[in-house]
């Protein structure tokens, strides 16, 4: 934080991206910080051994941006071997002039480094995503592919961080593909307009060679489904519900339904906080024609509301039902309704009573009963109503 202030005093328009050693995942192989003028690593004596390893790792990557390594302490004796790509600074109190001069040297080196790489075939390959070239994004690895999209781990030079790049197969030129393309673009339009701590961040949208792409936040710590493989305390489960309910309140406030709430669509940041992703099935509530077509069922049967499973009209109470299924699963350790087929599960959501929960969980019974009521009229009518009910829960005995 102190280094940021020194930088912003010298360069008020500087874009500074912070990474915390104990919260943010290390940069993956291939990441080069190419969008940064320099990378500053600050270490106190208690963490110096750990940060030294990071310095050695990053400085050994041929394309990595020059490093300014600031150690809050006295210089060791003897000092480490000279490395022209690492500008070492030692001081008990940050010296503004020394820091600025080191950053200017590093920045000049980086400009020369990038200029020498420009136009080289090996450097151009960094921007290849399959047969597609997307300038400004460096491909790190391919994560997967579906019917409409391919998904990559990439370095965004503009955002200066690791992102997930979702690439649409091609801008459609025939009517049957317009539905999928509109849904893809809608994911960006919904999320880019929101600024909420528990909603995925979108960094970029573009079109390259007739292919649309979205660059969004990368979650190195997995999803709620993975977290649920280990037991969760009721208090932790309730905390997750509050965070996701808050995200749904923001989404619903702009007239959007998620429609595919499930643990795999709730990612975790380094600090453990949950984040809602994947708005590909989301739909504006005031749209006359559903993108999915008439009486088609989209979503995951285990988490579908009775009305969604039967292709009936849905509203924000349907998302709250899905959150209720997740809450039940976190508390009990299994889904409330199972079946040999998707249709059997859908039928149980509509007709079967909610399985009982253990006596020690009875404190949460009123919340579950209202979230998972068969009739939308008997559920919480909004995410805010759910949050108020959680706040009103009596303290555990």
Catalytically active residues, by annotation: 260
- As a whole number of angstroms, the distance between CA 29 and CA 31 comes to 6
Asked whether 72 and 92 are in contact (CB, 8 A), the reply is yes
Which of 262, 269, 250 lies closest to 193, judged by CA? Answer: 250
What end-to-end distance do the CA atoms of the chain give, in Å? 42
Asked whether 162 and 152 are in contact (CB, 8 A), the reply is no
Q: What angle do CA 386, 389, 392 make, to 5 degrees?
A: 155
Which of 2, 3, 66 lies closest to 37, judged by CA? Answer: 66
- As a whole number of angstroms, the distance between CA 20 and CA 159 comes to 16
Count of other CB atoms within 10 angstroms of residue 342: 14
How would you class 392 by CB atoms within 10 Å of its CB: exposed for 0-12, middle for 13-18, buried for 19 or more?
A: exposed
Count of other CB atoms within 10 angstroms of residue 134: 22
Taking the mean position of all CA atoms in its chain, how far away is CA 195? 13
């Amino acid at each position: 934080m102190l280094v940021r202030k020194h930088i912003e005093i010298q360069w008020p328009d500087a874009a500074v991206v912070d990474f915390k050693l104990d919260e943010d995942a290390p940069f993956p192989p291939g990441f080069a910080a190419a969008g940064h003028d320099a990378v500053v690593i600050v270490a106190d004596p208690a963490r110096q051994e750990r940060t030294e390893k990071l310095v050695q790792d990053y400085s050994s990557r041929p394309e990595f941006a020059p490093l300014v390594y600031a150690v809050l302490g006295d210089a060791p004796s003897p000092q480490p071997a000279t490395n022209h790509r690492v500008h070492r600074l030692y001081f008990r109190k940050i010296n503004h002039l020394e820091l600025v001069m080191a950053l200017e040297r590093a920045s000049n080196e980086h400009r020369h480094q990038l200029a020498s790489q420009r136009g080289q075939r090996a450097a151009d390959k960094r921007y290849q995503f399959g047969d597609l070239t997307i300038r400004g994004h460096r491909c790190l690895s391919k994560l997967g592919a579906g019917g409409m999209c391919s998904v990559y781990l990439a370095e965004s030079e503009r955002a200066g961080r690791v992102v997930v790049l979702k690439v649409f197969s091609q801008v459609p030129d025939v009517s049957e593909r317009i539905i999928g393309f509109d849904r893809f673009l809608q994911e960006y339009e919904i999320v880019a307009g929101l600024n909420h701590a528990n909603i995925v961040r979108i960094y970029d949208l573009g079109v390259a060679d007739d292919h649309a792409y979205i660059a969004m936040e990368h979650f190195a710590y997995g999803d709620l489904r993975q977290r649920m493989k280990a037991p969760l305390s009721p208090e932790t489960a309730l905390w997750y519900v509050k965070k996701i309910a808050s995200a749904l309140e923001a989404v619903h406030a702009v007239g959007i339904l998620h429609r595919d709430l499930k643990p795999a669509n709730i990612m975790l940041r380094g600090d453990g906080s949950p984040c809602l992703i994947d708005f590909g099935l989301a739909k504006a509530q005031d749209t006359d024609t559903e993108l999915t077509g008439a009486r088609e069922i989209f979503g995951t049967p285990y988490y579908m509301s009775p009305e969604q499973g039967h292709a009936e009209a849905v509203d924000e109470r349907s998302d709250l039902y899905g959150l209720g299924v997740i809450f039940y699963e976190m508390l009990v350790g299994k889904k409330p309704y199972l079946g040999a087929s998707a249709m059997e599960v859908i039928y149980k959501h509509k007709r079967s009573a909610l399985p009982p929960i253990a006596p020690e969980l009875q404190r949460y019974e009123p919340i579950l009963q209202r979230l998972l009521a068969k009739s939308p009229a008997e559920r919480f009518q909004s995410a805010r109503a759910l949050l108020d009910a959680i706040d009103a829960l009596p303290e555990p005995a």
